[in-house]
């Protein structure tokens, strides 16, 4: 027997040549004692969690709970989420999927609560979709609640210091409108879909365009639903995270007569152009007059020069005898 065996099993030194079977049984018993000790430790640490899972039909064994701790997964969160899902009738959610979502940085409790809410509201929402929404940074529970209970969005929202949507009808009258848009979450397009700001921008553009296509502002004032019908026909909620339920005109007022103002501005501009052209013609006339006067002075100078040549010609004629005085 070597020194290690003498240290671990000193009672075996009593025999000069111990039986190998006895040694094997002692070693096996030693390891069995270790396993029993570990089992008792795990049972004591995770007994309450295992018992809760057992009585609620969550079916999570103690070894799985122990491995969760080794993987740095909080077993309390997983057990609570699993129990909530099972009690709500969502037995298909796998425990490993919950662990993977927890390790990915997701909120398992919120995802399970969102799935329970969707299940009770008869909304089709599976674990993969809910987990993807949560990992994308969206509040999946709030999204489900909005899908169940639609919310109202003011348009415009007032963040750009604009209280109304201003449009001009074909008769030139400005109309100032405010709308309330009722939306609910489109869970299938929540990941990658456009946000609330896009819906507000599209609805605002649609309202302004609908007002601009109206023949008279009186038609819009008498029947504001013309605006909402025109906007709803454009499918403004395409590729967004929301589905537009309704668009209601909360208020509409008459603004300025933009057409008359534009006509006045155009008339003023035309008058300025006419004045400029008249001034140009006057300047051209003055220039022509100055040129005429200059030409007259030039001709007079030529006449004077011609008159100065007459005495010279007469003197030359006297010298040549061609001119005589009788």
Could you tell me if residue 152 is inside a domain?
no
**169 and 112 in a common domain:** no
Query: Domain residues for 104?
Result: 3-147
149 class by beta-carbon count within 10 Å (0-12 exposed, 13-18 middle, 19+ buried): exposed
Which pLDDT score, from 0 to 100, does residue 12 have? 46
My answer on whether 203 and 319 are in the same domain is yes
pLDDT lower than 50: segments of the chain: 1-9, 11-16
The residue from 147, 175, 209 where one domain ends is 147
**Domains held by the chain: number:** 2
Q: Write the Ramachandran bin of 165: left for phi over 0, alpha for psi from -120 to 50, otherwise beta.
A: beta
CATH number at 194 reads 3.30.479.30
Please check whether residues 251 and 315 belong to one and the same domain.
yes
Let me know whether 175 and 319 are in one domain: yes
pLDDT at position 2 is 46
pLDDT in tens, 217-242: 888 888 888 888 888 888 888 888 88
Q: 218 with 286: CB under 8 angstroms?
A: no
Angle (nearest 5°) at CA 33 between 31 and 34: 65
Q: Are residues 180 and 211 in the same domain?
A: yes
Same-domain status, 138 and 163: no
Q: Note whether residue 153 is domain-resident.
A: no
At 103 the pLDDT is 92
Taking the whole predicted model, whether its pTM rises above 0.85 is answered as no
Q: Which among 98, 116, 147 is the end of a domain? A: 147
Asked if 69 and 131 sit in the same domain, the reply is yes
In a domain, 285, yes or no: yes
Domain match, 109 and 180 both: no
The pLDDT of residue 166 is 87
Asked if 173 and 309 sit in the same domain, the reply is yes
């Amino acid at each position: 027997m070597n020194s290690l065996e003498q240290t671990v099993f000193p009672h075996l030194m009593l025999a000069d040549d111990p039986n190998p079977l006895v040694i094997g049984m002692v070693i096996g018993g030693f390891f069995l004692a270790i396993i029993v000790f570990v089992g008792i430790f795990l049972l004591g640490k995770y007994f309450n969690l295992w018992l809760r899972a057992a009585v609620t039909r969550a079916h999570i064994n103690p070894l799985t709970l122990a491995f969760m701790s080794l993987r740095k997964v909080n077993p309390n969160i997983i057990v609570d989420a699993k129990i909530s899902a099972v009690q709500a009738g969502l037995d298909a959610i796998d425990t490993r999927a919950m662990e993977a979502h927890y390790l990915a940085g997701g909120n398992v409790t919120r995802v399970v609560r969102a799935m329970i809410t969707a299940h009770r509201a008869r909304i089709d929402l599976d674990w993969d979709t809910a987990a993807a929404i949560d990992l994308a940074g969206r509040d999946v529970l709030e999204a489900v609640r909005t899908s169940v209970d639609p919310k109202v969005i003011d348009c415009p929202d007032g963040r750009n210091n604009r209280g109304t949507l201003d449009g001009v009808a074909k008769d030139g009258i400005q109309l100032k409108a405010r709308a309330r848009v009722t939306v609910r979450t489109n869970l299938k397009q929540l990941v990658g879909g456009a946000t609330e700001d896009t819906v507000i921008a599209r609805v605002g553009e649609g309202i302004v365009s609908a007002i601009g296509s109206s023949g008279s502002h009186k038609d819009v004032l008498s029947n504001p639903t013309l605006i909402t019908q025109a906007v709803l026909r454009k499918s403004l909620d395409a590729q967004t995270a929301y589905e537009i339920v309704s668009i209601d005109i909360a208020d509409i007022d008459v603004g300025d007569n933009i057409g008359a103002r534009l006509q006045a501005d155009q008339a003023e501009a035309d008058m300025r152009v006419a004045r400029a052209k008249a001034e140009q013609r006057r300047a051209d006339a003055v220039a022509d007059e100055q040129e005429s006067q200059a030409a007259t002075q030039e001709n007079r100078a030529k006449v004077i020069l011609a008159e100065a040549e007459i005495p010279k010609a007469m003197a030359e004629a006297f010298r040549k005898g061609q001119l005589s005085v009788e």
